[in-house]
Homo-oligomer: A and B are copies of this chain.
């Protein structure tokens, strides 16, 4: 692999000069610039980012951790992060953790070893030590789509789960539903409990309590769209009709939710834009070598489609 000194030798200048023309923030004679550029082109030289990072003390890389790339919500979040990171000149390191504590620990270690300039977390195991670990190593961290601000250094782009659950329960209540169940995530995820709690509190305000999934629910509120879609699958294979026998509502509004054959009532959440905003916040924190320490909440409207209807009497 050709290096800076190869180029310098070929162009007959010092390596400082080559570095100067590459970075472009030091004036250079038109003539030397031409010589150097020719040498670069001839050797197909591309600077070694590793060496540059070592000296510059910034990796120009940002980490992203998602529980499950296979869930369109996280895929879009990751894609959004990747796109805007690149646009700002950052590389994206990805970790897919399945909310397993060892994976999270591994990802944390890798990210600090790589000295990433920031990390964006899409989901975590309950009580995960990842954010604190990263924060303690002076890496700005932002929790996207979840997160109690238990650590004031943490950045958060949150969803208002309780408010969303209140809307959902209100809507179902008006449709006459009194036996409502919650379909949790298969993974133990941090905000999982928060959604379920919000759901239960909304029920309690109406003097209702959640029923078991298998206990004759007339409506099911799922932790997210993927769970909702899987729930519909199970229900229908058992011969129950959605929404005639049971209503189902999701969370996320993944693209598939709008499909003619799915047509899922759900809570909208904009993963791509969340990813983009997350990068903005993290990158500006990194540039000022501080933590994000900022919290904002995304609005989450209810989208009514065709998997919900009046309660069966």
Contact = CB atoms under 8 A, between A and B. Distances in A.
Interface of A: 1, 44, 46-51, 53-54, 59, 61, 68-70, 72, 75-76, 78-79, 82-83, 86, 91-96, 103, 106, 109-110, 112-115, 136-138, 229, 232-233, 236-237, 255-256, 259-262
Contact of A115 (B48, B70, B72, B138): B48
Given A46-B137, A50-B50, A50-B54, 19 more contacts: A1-B115, A1-B137, A1-B138, A49-B115, A50-B53, A50-B114, A69-B76, A69-B79, A70-B72, A72-B75, A82-B95, A86-B110, A91-B93, A91-B114, A232-B259, A232-B260, A233-B259, A233-B260, A233-B261
5 contacts: A44-B137, A83-B96, A92-B93, A93-B94, A233-B260
Contact of A110 (B44, B91, B110, B112): B91
Contacts of A103: 86
Contacts of A136: 44
A90 to B, nearest CB: 9
Contacts of A137: 1, 44, 46
A232 B261 contact: yes
Nearest to A109: B46
A75 B261 CA distance: 23
A93 to B, nearest CB: 6
B69 A69 contact: yes
A144 to B, nearest CB: 15
Nearest to A90: B110
A154 to B, nearest CB: 19
A44 B133 CA distance: 10
A261 B82 CA distance: 32
Contacts of A138: 1
B70 A76 contact: yes
B69 A82 contact: yes
- 5 residue pairs, one from A and one from B, having the closest CB atoms: A49-B113, A69-B79, A233-B260, A261-B261, A94-B94
Contact of A46 (B50, B72, B96, B112): B112
B94 A50 contact: no
A259 B262 CA distance: 10
Contacts of A115: 1, 48-50
Contacts of A49: 110, 113-115
A84 to B, nearest CB: 11
Nearest to A229: B259
A82 B237 CA distance: 34
Contact of A96 (B1, B44, B82, B96): B82
Nearest to A72: B70
